[in-house]
Structure 1
Amino acid sequence: MNQPTRHWEWQYLDLMRRIWEHGDERVDRTGVGTRSLFGETIRFDLAHGAMPLLTTKRVYWKTASRELLWFLTGETNIRPLCAQGVEIWTDWPLDRYRRETGDEIDCAAFSRRIVEDEAFAARWGDLGPVYGKQWVDWPTYQAEGDGLFRRGPGINQVAQVVDSLTRNPGSRRHIIEGWNVAELDAMALPPCHKTYQFHVANGRLSGMLFQRSCDLGLGFAFNMWSLALLTRMLAQQCNLEPGEVVWTGADVHLYLNHAPLVEQQLARTPEGSATLRFTRRPASMFDYRIEDLEVRGYAPQAHIAAPVAV
């Protein structure tokens, strides 16, 4: 008699429990403090349209999708996100604005001004050369002679991966890298989900993410969704079937002020599943819109709020 398949989300809940009960406790960059484990992996099969949405709390997948689509534009200013009501990157420029001006403006007013005032957005809304810039416009430099260099054409890593998956699917170099050492200091936050690699076997495309640092309570749900969505988009563009996604975290942690989140989530049992259907096939990786994504069957338990450590 076949044993029932264990819900994929138990991987996540088991990891959460191990971190909370056995993780190394330390003071972190934010000053809040964390408990962490090093080197953890979670896998998910994308067959039959399945997508890794947590069911033990609501995940705002449209927000995560808008962020991914924003990355693919190469944009580094939060203005387009704020215009869509996406505030997941607003805390960093808001924190800088408050420090440098002494103005204790609230988040809603800051975001509204970012949207309404182009000059204000240019001054205060830019995050530096974060993910999207590295993904689609990695900087190059060309020698001019006499020790001088000029800016060369940017490298679109995403377009290169589409090309390599199409022309040479057996390659071991289908990689998108965000960790540009020369530009880390100019970024509001150095890349956490830093390296993506893709693999083709038997006509199925699998994606793997190496994440140097993961806030398991808040960030993971978005990271796992984005990994799966990016893999699904690449598969559609390259005429491949979706395979598996593999998430690997180096420093995987829970913030000490997330105790209510941890206790509530660990008391819940995962159930149900979600699927994703594309409503069309866009012309390229860079032409997807939020309207192209149709999620079915997602019936999560209640949202659990928790503070973001900046």
Structure 2
Amino acid sequence: MRQYLDLCKHILENGTVKEDRTGTGTISVFGYQMRFDLQQGFPLLTTKKTAFRLIASELLWFLKGDTNVKTLIEDRNPIWDEWGFQRYVESDEYDGPDMSDFGRRSQKDEQFAVIYREQMDIYKKRILSDEQFAEKYGDLGPIYGRQWRSWASPEGSVDQIQNLIDGLKRNPDSRRHIVSAWNPAEVEDMALPPCHALFQFYVADGKLSCQLYQRSADVFLGVPFNIASYALLVHLIAKECGYDVGEFIHTIGDGHIYSNHVEQVKEQLSREPRPLPTLRIEDGKSIFDMTYEDIKVEGYDPHPKIKAPIAV
């Protein structure tokens, strides 16, 4: 994963200090590309432990067209908790302690952090126990899963993933194997506008490759997940269509390191990468029916994890 470490180093050496939506502040570059040969191993970051279970369960959640955090909470996956929680605490129905700017406040004030964790726990338990509450405050709007599997059109919904699979089988040389999550008509209704906005598949010599365009990339926390998620997607689609895997090409618009992640990035850069693991996917299931138990990473031996706050 030298490609990822080179990106981190490039941002620290050449980035511009910028403000951002979260108020945290970033060091940012615009326009960067990484290439990963998936024949050389599965690109799961080794310079810090990266939770593959969370990556896989989130991707399967997207592929099923789901947009409600209830499914992820049931799977013990907290990736989207903050965005569902934010929708609830900003609603008229919420009458608990002040949760404004909870992301930054919980990092700076331990007393508030305890209250925040208590309120988050209450929220998650209610999501699991109250169906009406989950429907109202667990749904994140028309985010990735909705756009991938049920893009709204005047003629009815469009299943972009099924169309992608059908097209790759029928006409592999097409230049139209594209899936877009960026729907301008619905961006304002999403809990978070899509960061990984558009991807394109390409077949050559019996190998399937994918290029992702990511408009906004949280390089320390998000990008390792994005790399592994789309590499897994290539493997899944290749298996579904009968191809070998080729490359994953990751094209980034605004690639940034948050100001409160700089020391963590430097620690990671001091570590030597280890050999990449391999991926094993059980046979006999459609990608739409797979569970996390059907997907295994073997030979993963990373350095210890490095904690950092998420910017909401």
Fold shared per TM-score above 0.5: yes
Alignment of 1:288-299 (within 5 A): 288-299=290-301
SS at 1:244's partner residue?
strand
For 2:89 and 2:136, how far apart are their aligned partners in 1?
A: 13
SS at 1:58's partner residue?
coil
For 2:218 and 2:36, how far apart are their aligned partners in 1?
A: 19
Q: Is the 8 A contact 2:151 2:157 kept in 1?
A: yes
Q: Which consecutive segments of 4 or more residues in structure 1 shift more than 3 A?
A: none
Match of 1:17 among 6, 9, 16: 9
How large is the Cα RMSD of the aligned pairs? 1.2
Match of 1:165 among 150, 163, 168: 168
Any gaps of 5 or more consecutive residues in structure 1? Answer: 1-8, 142-151
- The aligned counterpart of 2:268 is 265
For 1:108 and 1:46, how far apart are their aligned partners in 2?
A: 39
Of 101-110 and 61-70, the range deviating more from structure 2: 101-110
Match of 1:138 among 142, 151, 154: 151
Match of 2:287 among 249, 273, 285: 285
- The aligned counterpart of 2:50 is 59
CA-to-partner distance for each residue in 1:205-246, whole Å, 9 max, x for gaps? 011111000000000011111111111111111111111110
- The aligned counterpart of 1:99 is 90
- The aligned counterpart of 2:306 is 304
Quick check: 1:253 aligned with 2:261?
no
Deviation of 1:17 after TM superposition, in Å, equals 1.6
For 2:186 and 2:122, how far apart are their aligned partners in 1?
A: 30
- The aligned counterpart of 1:3 is none
Quick check: 1:68 aligned with 2:71?
no
For 2:187 and 2:86, how far apart are their aligned partners in 1?
A: 18
- The aligned counterpart of 1:229 is 232
Of 271-280 and 187-196, the range deviating more from structure 2: 271-280
Q: What's the TM-score once normalised by structure 1's chain length? A: 0.91
SS at 1:220's partner residue?
helix
- The aligned counterpart of 2:189 is 186
For 1:102 and 1:40, how far apart are their aligned partners in 2?
A: 44
For 1:137 and 1:64, how far apart are their aligned partners in 2?
A: 22
Alignment of 1:26-41 (within 5 A): 26-41=18-33
Deviation of 1:260 after TM superposition, in Å, equals 2.7
For 1:293 and 1:80, how far apart are their aligned partners in 2?
A: 18
Match of 1:125 among 138, 159, 164: 138
Q: Is the 8 A contact 1:199 1:207 kept in 2?
A: yes
Q: Is the 8 A contact 1:236 1:281 kept in 2?
A: no
CA-to-partner distance for each residue in 1:153-211, whole Å, 9 max, x for gaps? 21000000101100000000011110000000000011000111000001000111110
Q: Is the 8 A contact 2:143 2:193 kept in 1?
A: yes
Q: Is the 8 A contact 2:46 2:274 kept in 1?
A: yes
Q: Paired residues, what number?
A: 290
Deviation of 1:281 after TM superposition, in Å, equals 3.1
Q: What's the TM-score once normalised by structure 2's chain length? A: 0.90
Deviation of 1:266 after TM superposition, in Å, equals 1.2
Of 64-73 and 263-272, the range deviating more from structure 2: 263-272
Q: Is the 8 A contact 2:57 2:72 kept in 1?
A: yes
Structure 1 residues 264 and 178: CA distance shift in structure 2, 3 A = same
SS at 2:152's partner residue?
coil
- The aligned counterpart of 1:244 is 247
